[in-house]
Amino acid sequence: MTTDTPQPVPAGSILHRYYGDWRGLLVGSGTGILQLMHPAIGAGVVQHSKFFDEPYARILRSLPPIIESKIGGERAPAAAARVRDFHLDIKGVDEHGNRYHALDPEVWFWAHATFVMADMTWMDLYHHRLTRDEREEIWEAGKTWYRLYGISERPMPDTLDEFEAYWDHMCREALEATEAARWAVAAFDDPARAQPPGVPDAVWRFAGARVMEEQRLITAAMLPEVVREKLGLEFTRRDRARFARRVVLHRLTRPVVSPVAMRLLSQVSR
């Protein structure tokens, strides 16, 4: 039996099975930067939020309903509608003088694509090497998830091969070092601008530089080389060796649910 009504990602999918593993947080910074490199998203964030003063506000506001749209079961459609409706009035003119709207399907799908690729990336790097079938499963679940937003599927590739070609094209031809993306990369060298909410000043003064240096390393590692070049983000031979050691360590880590994921899950279940 078929239905025209978009259905939630089914319980038991690969997205459900691995949700909450703390290692999924490791790709958060890179995922955000990939979004900010889209000219429309970068412009929207600068023009419609307090990004430079409150860089975490957008994330903390958006993530709970995004996660609910992903793994919320019967609540997922309503959550997806909330996420979509957050963006109804986000429009303007980007750095090149081009008009944009957050709900333009090409813009919206790119943001969604970064979340799908984030799942493929963290699982493959930090949990276990994904098989082609597992990557296919993530992609098919990502398509199901996207349909809940009620936005045109025109830009959405059909197959995993087509998605990978789309990803390569976007990284090479469409993404750029927008003002917002440059600011985010510069934060690696200026921990004061990236102090997370709730972290005491004294703690961040002590640990911030080390945390941001580690974040620079894992972000550079997950980004395609062409994207690193656009951002001026180095990933040297020494960095590769350091990161390889991190991967070994993280793969040995028990897949515990992170405190951040627990908080987000508690908000999703309300």
Q: Answer yes or no: is pLDDT of 265 > 70.
A: no
List pLDDT tens digits, range 146-196. 999 999 999 999 999 999 999 999 999 999 999 999 999 999 999 999 999
What is the distance between the alpha carbons of residues 128 and 22, in angstroms, rounded to a whole number? Answer: 14
Per-domain boundaries in the chain: 19-264
* Mean pLDDT on 7-13: 92
pLDDT for the residue numbered 2: 39
Instruction: Look at 205 and 4; give whichever has higher pLDDT.
Output: 205
Looking at the chain, the whole-number percentage of residues with pLDDT higher than 70 is 93
What is the distance between the alpha carbons of residues 186 and 17, in angstroms, rounded to a whole number? Answer: 35
Where residue 259 falls among pLDDT bands split at 50, 70, 90?
low
List pLDDT tens digits, range 53-81. 888 888 888 888 999 999 999 999 999 99
Mean pLDDT, the chain, rounded, equals 91
Looking at the chain, the whole-number percentage of residues with pLDDT higher than 90 is 77
pTM for the structure as a whole: 0.92
pLDDT for the residue numbered 20: 80
Instruction: Look at 225 and 25; give whichever has higher pLDDT.
Output: 225
Q: Answer yes or no: is pLDDT of 270 > 50.
A: no
pLDDT for the residue numbered 263: 55
3-state DSSP assignment of residue 58: helix
Query: In the numeric block, which tokens belong to residue 263?
Result: 């908080």
Can you tell me which residue has the tokens 């830009």? 155
pLDDT for the residue numbered 268: 47
Instruction: Look at 22 and 257; give whichever has higher pLDDT.
Output: 22
* Mean pLDDT on 72-94: 95
Q: Answer yes or no: is pLDDT of 269 > 50.
A: no
Q: What's the sign of the alpha-carbon dihedral 222, 228, 230, 233? A: positive
Q: What's the sign of the alpha-carbon dihedral 44, 23, 212, 221? A: negative
